[in-house]
């Protein structure tokens, strides 16, 4: 469990409209990377809002509904083809930028989870190491990104059965690796990732 508890300290020291930005899906062998940006309404912070990694799947889904119903959000993806073309870092940063651009209003400042800032943002920005455990805005973005990506991978499991995408969401579990060896890559596998590349025809 994460010992940190996110709050609004980062948001309150910044003048103007602040969004939190995070992504999900940098480590999997298949599927997109998903980024989200969230401008929280400080008057109705969902109870129990926290880093997506410390929440159950059911709790993430519940909070997802709370966030999209009362706060301003933007979500964007980078498909496997873009990941292969740009590399995973470049694709993640590109998706983060698109998520900020997808917000219904342009923020004055973006809090970015991690240590790299997306290029060409329409606002000032700063990185926050372990931001999803420190900033409630980033924590909200982490939930949106994670739930959105999980849903996409459940749909992918229907299109490409046999890999267990609904179960492991494309991460390199032992089962996923064994099925990759048996079946070979499918269209949403990331061609530049080991062990996908060694299973290419």
Low-confidence ranges of the chain (pLDDT < 70): 1-3, 201
**How far is residue 20's CA from residue 182's CA, in Å, rounded to a whole number?**
41
**How far is residue 6's CA from residue 86's CA, in Å, rounded to a whole number?**
32
Is 95 among the domain residues? Answer: yes
Is 3 among the domain residues? Answer: no
pTM: 0.95
Is 159 among the domain residues? Answer: yes
Count structural domains, the chain: 1
**How far is residue 26's CA from residue 6's CA, in Å, rounded to a whole number?**
22
Q: What is the pLDDT of residue 197?
A: 83
Q: What is the pLDDT of residue 3?
A: 54
Dihedral (Cα; 173, 93, 113, 155), 10-degree rounding: -40
Question: Looking at residue 86, which CATH number applies to its domain?
Answer: 3.30.420.10
Q: What is the pLDDT of residue 2?
A: 46
**How far is residue 160's CA from residue 88's CA, in Å, rounded to a whole number?**
22
Q: What is the pLDDT of residue 199?
A: 74
Is 4 among the domain residues? Answer: no
- Domain range enclosing 110: 9-196
Whole-angstrom CA distances from 20 to 113, 160, 182 are 8, 33, 41
Is 29 among the domain residues? Answer: yes
Give per-residue pLDDT as tens, 11-40: 999 999 999 999 999 999 999 999 999 999
**How far is residue 167's CA from residue 157's CA, in Å, rounded to a whole number?**
9
């Amino acid at each position: 469990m994460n010992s940190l508890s996110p709050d609004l300290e980062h948001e309150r020291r910044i003048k103007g409209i602040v969004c939190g930005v995070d992504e999900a899906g940098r480590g999997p062998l298949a599927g997109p990377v998903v980024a989200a940006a969230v401008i929280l309404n400080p008057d109705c912070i969902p109870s129990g809002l926290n880093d997506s990694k410390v929440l159950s799947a059911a709790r993430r889904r519940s909070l997802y509904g709370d966030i999209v119903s009362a706060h301003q959000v933007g979500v964007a993806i980078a498909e496997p083809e873009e990941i292969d073309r740009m590399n995973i870092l470049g694709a993640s940063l590109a998706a983060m930028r698109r998520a900020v651009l997808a917000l219904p209003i342009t923020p004055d400042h973006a809090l970015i989870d991690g240590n790299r800032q997306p290029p060409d943002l329409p606002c000032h920005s700063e990185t926050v190491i372990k931001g999803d455990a420190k900033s409630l805005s980033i924590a909200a973005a982490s939930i949106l990104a994670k739930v959105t990506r999980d849903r996409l991978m459940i749909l992918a499991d229907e299109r490409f059965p046999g890999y267990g995408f609904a179960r492991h969401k494309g991460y390199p579990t032992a089962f996923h690796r064994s099925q990759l060896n048996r079946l070979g890559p499918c269209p949403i596998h990331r061609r530049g990732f080991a062990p996908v590349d060694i299973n290419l025809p």
